[in-house]
Amino acid sequence: MFTICFVGTHIPLLSFAGWQYLSGRVDLAGLSVVLAATLVGTGFTLFCIDALMAPIRFATRAVAALEQEQTAALESVQDGDVLADLLAGVGRATEATQVRIATLDNAAHRDPLTGLLNRRGFMARSEDVADGTVALIDLDHFKSVNDEFGHDVGDDILKDFAAFLARGVRRADRVARWGGEEFVVLFPDTSEDEAAGILRRVARRMDAGLIDRPDGKPVTCSGGVVALDGDTLARAITRADTALYAAKAGGRNQLRVGAEHMRVD
């Protein structure tokens, strides 16, 4: 585009110089005036074209920012300009796409009932943890709650427990709803004993009646706690599930820790 404009603005100069050459009457003063005017006109034309191209550059940056899942810093342009409309459209598309991405990501990785991470979200956000402890926690006799009092009551209990569990662990710990009435907690860079101590406080509060069933009985929980020990997270969760099963088989309302499934009271 710049080349075409440059050539176009020099046609009068080239025509004038050619006419003088062919006619044998070279007017250096007149040629100098035309040359100077041509150069000034060329500079002015290129400057204006560059200014008119600015919105396109901004739009290109917006698209690049969209690809990087960032909010584009769009600069204001004059209203009514076609390029301004283009830029505004790109801005709206960028913002709308960001909202859609956030919504889809939330739907894919969050449990809609409790607001915690779901299984997929937990695994996706925990791949970077190489050392620590993982625990599986299950609400005791939860099926009977749904059977006797209905799923609405059961849902309220799940939400209350999810909120309490999220508050009861540390900020760096990751909590998710694993499925049904089962929850998972990842304690990065934490030993089995430390993790068990945190969850023991949670279990004691539950046993003391933090969350009651409609019949007044406290909702209790059982858990299995195991260290990663260099294992993958998926395999560690399988071992935690085995420890949880031992807690259930041992009478519920308890924690079982490590490969030996030691009971923690």
Q: Is it the case that residue 123 has pLDDT exceeding 80?
A: yes
Most confident of the ranges 90-99, 107-116, 139-148: 139-148
Answer whether 55's CB lies under 8 Å from 81's CB.
yes
Show me where the domains of the chain are located: 2-106, 119-264
pLDDT, position 73: 46
| Positions marked catalytic | 181
CA angle 31/5/85 to nearest 5° reads 145
Mean pLDDT, residues 167-184 taken together: 96
Q: For the segment 18-72, what is each residue's pLDDT rounded down to a tens digit?
A: 666 677 666 667 667 777 777 777 777 777 777 777 666 666 666 566 555 544 4
Among 3.30.930.10, 3.40.50.11540, 2.40.160.10, 3.30.70.270, name the CATH number for the domain at 119-264.
3.30.70.270
More confident residue, 48 or 160: 160
pTM here is 0.65
CA angle 189/194/199 to nearest 5° reads 115
Could you count the other beta carbons within 10 Å of the beta carbon of residue 205? Answer: 14
Q: For the segment 177-207, what is each residue's pLDDT rounded down to a tens digit?
A: 999 999 999 999 999 999 999 999 999 999 9
Q: Is it the case that residue 3 has pLDDT exceeding 80?
A: no
pLDDT, position 144: 94
